[in-house]
Structures are given as structure tokens and as C-alpha cells.
Amino acid sequence: MRMTVTMFLLGLLYVAFVAALVVLLKSWVLVVVVAAGMLGAQYWFSDRIALFAMRGRVVEREEYPELHAVIDRLCALADMPKPVVAVSEMDMPNAFATGRNPDNAVVCVTTGLLRRLEPAELEGVLAHELSHVAHKDVAVITIASFLGVIAGLIVRFAFYSQLFGGGRRDQNTAVVFAAVMGVSAAVYAISFLLIRALSRYRELAADRAAALLTGRPSALASALTKVTGDIARIPSKDLRTAQAFNAFYFTPALGAEPGVARIFSTHPSLEQRLEQLGRISGELGEAATPGRAG
């Protein structure tokens, strides 16, 4: 909950920063350029930022032949380009994918995940991450986040064009400014919740695509149960750094008792994910051979 509140306050700080730019620079064009620059940096460099933050490094086939072999096979089944393969020297079992499109993507796994999972389980996790790449989920979430910012900017521009138009300034300036900030905060709050709902939907979609691609939803369910249980046993203080990147992960670093934080989670609950995989298992009859995801 503290992490969620912190993220929310950081978002409000960003809103206040953009509003202050409009007031100080008196140029909505310049603010749009700045905001577009921020979006561009996030869009183009998200993979490098994520790898740096999670201490991931690119690994070649000679160093991790089995990991490369699984990704090669899944990419062939999914008919998609092979992403860059990376490994993070972290004991926390997890994986993430990032990149603006399938041609510029990275799939990273932690050494903790590699140590804990059986081959079929690892295949399910990697299929999940490759689904995010194939469906351009990183770009979708980035654009969705930016739309919330743009909505707030449009509201502010409308107010300020009236407020500062023709060089007029009156005693109601402070009141109008407070109203603008209130609207901006409301827009951000709504987008904050909607983006997390969208992220949960994309996680369920990635689970489904992975189950269909491998033909073994039970292996993915086993990996989910194992990883979630192991993360829950990690001391909370060791999860704090990782929690800032929950949106990237295969399963979030929420600790043993996330409580109300589930409302703001970027991922569905373990129960929801296992229930869906159970239905898919019934649909497929747990086929012995992998199938192609639709």
C-alpha cells in the first residue's frame, strides 16, 4: 500500500510539474514538446532502463544454451522474431519482457527463476513473456499512460487559454489554478486505476496465449504457484526495490499479505490466473503436444 501511495504521489508530482510549466512558460506548445520528449524517451529506451534498473545483462547462447534453446523453439512456434535474451543476478524468481515492438524487445529472467523451475514450467513463463512482446503490450501500456497525461494537459490548456488570454489577470487566478489542479488530479486518479485494470487484462491474455502456445497450461499454473509462493516468503525489505517494476514482471513482488494493494495491482490474483488456466486445460484436454496460439 505504501508503494502504491508513493507511485500515486509521484504521478501527482508530475501533474503539478507540467501545470507549473504551463504557468511559468506561458506556452502550451513548449509543454507539449516536453511531454512528447518524455513519452519518446520512455517509448524508445524502456528496454535499456528496465535492464539497467533490474541489473540485467545480455547473455549469449554459449553462456545459457538451454535458455536460448527454449526461446528459439517458442519463437519458431509463434512465428515471431527472437528477442534479446538477458539474465538478472537476482534470487527473487521472476521474469519480464520489455521493448517497443517484437523487433526491439528483451526477455529477461532472474537466476532465482532458473534455479527453481522445471523445464516445462520455465517454458510456460517464457511463453507468457513472449506473448507480451508479440502483442506489443509494453507499447500499449506506455501509450495508455500517456493518454491520461494528455487528457490532463488538454483540460489545463483550456483553462489557461481563458485565464491568461489577452494578458488579463484577475483576483480569481488562484481559485482557477486550484480548480485546474483538482481536475488534473482527478484525471490522473482515473487513469491510474484504468491503466492497472488494462494491465491485469493483458496479463490474463498473456497467460492464455502462453497456455495455447505450449499446449500445457498446467505447467504454467505450476510455475505461477511456485513463483508466487517463493516471492511471498522473501522478506518485505528485500522486495521494496523490485516492487517499483511490478508492471514488467511475470508475477508481482507483493509479499505475503498484499491486502488492499490488490485493488491497485498490475496483475490479477493468483486465484484468477489459476482459474483461467484450469478452464483452458479443460478446453485443450491438456494436449500432449504444443499447439499454436490463435
Mean pLDDT across 157-171? 55
Q: How far apart are CA 289 and CA 213, in angstroms?
A: 10
Please answer whether residues 83 and 97 qualify as being in contact, where contact means their C-beta atoms are separated by less than 8 angstroms: yes
Does residue 137 or residue 148 have the better pLDDT? 137
The reported pTM is 0.74
Higher per-residue confidence, 135 vs 145? 135
Per cent of the chain over pLDDT 90 is: 32
Q: Is 104 helix (H, G, I), strand (E, B) or coil?
A: strand
User: Rounded to whole angstroms, how far apart are CA atoms 68 and 160?
Assistant: 54
Q: How far apart are the first and last CA of the chain?
A: 37
Q: Is 129 a catalytic residue?
A: yes
Annotated binding site: 128, 132, 203
| Of 249, 200, 224, 233, residue with least CA distance to 120 | 224
Is 220's pLDDT higher than 50?
Answer: yes
Q: How far apart are CA 131 and CA 134, in angstroms?
A: 5
Confidence band (pLDDT; 50, 70, 90) for 291? very low
| Long-range own/partner contacts, residues 5-12 (CB < 8 A, 24 or more apart) | 7/244, 8/189, 8/192, 11/188, 11/192, 12/185, 12/188
pLDDT tens, position by position, 81-132: 999 999 999 888 889 888 778 888 899 999 999 999 999 999 999 999 999 9
Which of 129, 271, 275, 286 is an active site residue? 129
- The answer to whether residue 176 scores a pLDDT higher than 80 is no
- Look over the chain and give the mean of its residue pLDDT values, rounded to a whole number: 75
CA atoms within 13 A on the CB side of 281: 13
Alpha helices in the chain (DSSP H): 2-25, 28-53, 65-78, 111-116, 119-134, 137-163, 173-214, 217-232, 236-243, 270-284
